[in-house]
């Protein structure tokens, strides 16, 4: 069974993570706000208070971050996700970022021996809360298939669009 991590519990991420929990996923969550972590713990999530803790307890890590800078910091930074583990991971980025950011993340993650899926979402906070997002995924097909059941817990329209980017 995959260990699932979720980073970013803002307007979109909180609903997405809650849908995973509501579907029985054993979920570890991390965000900068300890109050948001605590709130998710009350819903049944395992709270991680550092990126290292989340990384070491997750095989597939979903991110839904507020901006390009934060995405790059969390995914490719010196103290980012993969700085804490040499184990192969699947990193899925749902953040609203530009194509060059997704390509940088893909190149970095794959150079570390893990897989990266860019997975933009459409549907807003309402779609995130009710599990009706549209999720368009780019990246390795095997990794896509590994994450597909989780995508389906967060969205009603899920499409593999081909390679990353």
- pTM of the full structure: 0.94
CA distance 9 to 74: 14
CA distances from 65 to 12, 30, 68 (A): 9, 11, 8
Query: H/E element holding 107?
Result: helix 99-111
Say if CB 26 and CB 3 are below 8 A apart: yes
What is the per-residue pLDDT for 47?
96
What is the per-residue pLDDT for 1?
63
CA distance 25 to 43: 12
Going from the first residue of the chain to its last (165 residues), give the mean pLDDT of each consecutive group of 10, the final group possibly shorter: 91 94 96 93 95 94 94 93 89 90 94 94 91 93 95 95 83
CA distances from 20 to 32, 53, 105, 121 (A): 20, 19, 24, 16
CA distance 25 to 45: 9
């Amino acid at each position: 069974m995959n260990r699932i991590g979720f980073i970013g519990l803002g307007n979109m991420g909180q609903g997405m993570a809650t849908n995973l929990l509501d579907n029985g996923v054993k979920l570890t969550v991390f965000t900068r706000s300890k109050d948001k972590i605590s709130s998710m713990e009350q819903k049944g999530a395992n709270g991680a208070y550092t990126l290292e803790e989340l990384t070491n307890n997750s095989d597939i890590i979903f991110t839904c971050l507020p901006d390009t800078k934060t995405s790059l910091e969390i995914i490719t930074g010196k103290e980012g996700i993969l700085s804490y583990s040499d184990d192969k991971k699947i990193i899925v980025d749902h953040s609203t970022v530009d194509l060059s950011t997704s390509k940088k993340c893909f190149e970095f993650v794959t150079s570390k021996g893990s897989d990266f899926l860019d997975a933009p979402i459409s549907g807003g906070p309402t779609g995130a809360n009710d599990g009706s997002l549209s999720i368009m995924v780019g990246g390795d097909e095997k990794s896509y298939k590994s994450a597909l059941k989780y995508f389906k817990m967060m969205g009603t329209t899920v499409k593999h669009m081909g390679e990353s980017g």
